[in-house]
Amino acid sequence: MKVLVIGPGGREHALIRSLAADPYVTDLHCAPGNAGISSEVTTHDIDAQDPAAVVALATDLESDLVVVGPEAPLAAGVADALLIAGIPVFGPTQGAAQLEASKAFAKKVMAEAEVPTAMAKVATNTREAADALDAFGAPYVVKDDGLAAGKGVVVTSDRAEALAHAETCFEAGGTVVIEEFLDGPEVSLFVICDGTHAVPLAPAQDFKRIFDNDEGPNTGGMGAYSPLPWLPTGFVDEVMERVAYPTLRDMDSRGTPFTGVLYCGLAITTRGIRVIEFNARFGDPETQAVLARLKTPLGGLLLAAAKGELDEAEQLHWHPETAVGVVMAAENYPENPVKGAVIHGLEQAESLEGVSVLHAGTSVNAAGETVVAGGRVLAVVGLGADLHAARAKAYAGIAAISWDGAQHRTDIALKAANGQIKLSEGTH
């Protein structure tokens, strides 16, 4: 099977590694990729958000399957164009990707499908925003309605800051969604969907804030681990019954059946499971941790989803180890990442047993050196017998790698390793 992966990041590097390990995948390409991906497969420098360019490349390569990683090409209609050209694609159409591209749309679907989520109000001006903030009270949650790479959300107890974020969104011509605050630990569950059927992957936890102890601004994600030993039994089944299947049925009945990853961003609150957000793709960096444990060949699974044949797919098998992934980010990420620094120690880190290094924002300079080319630069994944062992592997990898201004969190999966994640009474 010939597979083309679309995207430039760490998630795509993880997809490439897993697809390369699938014996049925004979030919693997990526567009545009990054320095790590291009050292493993052929990469193609096209505009991945241009549907015609993606169709032309997939036709040229005679791809049997195109896997779209990021949200932007999905929202731009890349999957629609591939379907029209008769090329199997893993990833939702533009209409179905609205579940991520518009938070207001996602809320409408959740209301129709009776999926548990935070109460929310849409505001289009300062007056409406102020009324909504006062209706819910502190802590305040204000979300930009469009795609914002995980950075359009402000959670704060400062009413003036909440209102200022809403005003920034209005000035940019947008609307905002203001929500009740959800307390409790967060879980990311990736559900592979073929429009009708669905198969969950192992749950993961992401670390959104830039600094240790969940301080500082939100980022795309600074680390992740999987599986989650503290989850109540039956958690995944409950999410499938109350969230994934009702959402799939609603999307189908709207004429926009969902194929791809339904990424359920969940909070386990004192009142039970709530959806924080849907995404229409694999999460980054959770994918780097989740796929490190998947034994089942990935290409066959994604092709079955693309063809609407997930009901015939074999049951998933997982390595028993735990995976912890820690992101290394550029100086000044997330505000204004500094690019160009030369990265040292990559080979040394990769040579450590149980450690893999997945590239995100990297490129190769004129001298042939691997350099920083984006905000999140690498994810270093450790596999170990438990969370402590996996953390030790990941941080040993991190210690081998350096560049000027590199930053990472030191507490990824630490609370879970120490048994400090507590679920309140009544959540299970």
Could you list the residues that contact ligand GLY (CB under 6 A)? Answer: 150, 206, 220-221, 279, 283-284, 286
Size of site (CB under 6 A) for ligand AMP: 15
Which CB sits closer to ligand AMP, 55 or 155?
155
* Under 8 Å between Cβ of 50 and 68: no
DSSP 23-42: TT--EEEEEE--HHHHTTSE
Of the candidate spans 20-28, 53-61, 177-185, 351-359, the one that interacts with ligand AMP by CB under 6 A turns out to be 177-185
Measured between alpha carbons, how far is residue 117 from residues 156, 260, 282 in Å?
19, 22, 20
Token digits of residue 189:
């569950």
Among 115, 276, 323, 327, binds ligand AMP (CB under 6 A): 276
Of the candidate spans 90-98, 181-189, 357-365, 390-398, the one that interacts with ligand AMP by CB under 6 A turns out to be 181-189
Helix, coil or strand: residue 251: helix
Among 18, 38, 98, 218, binds ligand AMP (CB under 6 A): 218
Amino acid at 214: D
Task: Tell me how far, at minimum, the Cβ of 212 lies from ligand AMP, in Å.
Answer: 16
211 binds, among ligand AMP, ligand GLY, none (CB under 5 to 8 A by kind): none
Contact status: 161 vs ligand AMP (CB under 6 A):
no
Listed as own residue / partner, the contacts of 19-24 with beta carbons closer than 8 Å and 24 or more positions apart are 19/67, 19/298, 19/299, 21/297, 21/298, 22/297, 22/298, 22/299, 22/300, 23/297, 24/297, 24/299, 24/300
Which CB sits closer to ligand GLY, 243 or 313?
243
For residue 178, give the nearest of 167, 166, 169 by alpha carbon: 166
22 binds, among ligand AMP, ligand GLY, none (CB under 5 to 8 A by kind): none
Q: Give the span between the Cα atoms of 238 and 207, in whole angstroms.
A: 23
* Under 8 Å between Cβ of 29 and 15: no
Task: Tell me how far, at minimum, the Cβ of 381 lies from ligand GLY, in Å.
Answer: 14
Contact status: 269 vs ligand AMP (CB under 6 A):
no
Pairing verdict, β 2-7 and 65-68: parallel
Task: Tell me how far, at minimum, the Cβ of 365 lies from ligand GLY, in Å.
Answer: 28
Which positions touch ligand AMP (CB under 6 A)? Answer: 118, 141, 143, 150, 153, 155, 179, 181-182, 186, 208, 218, 265, 276-277
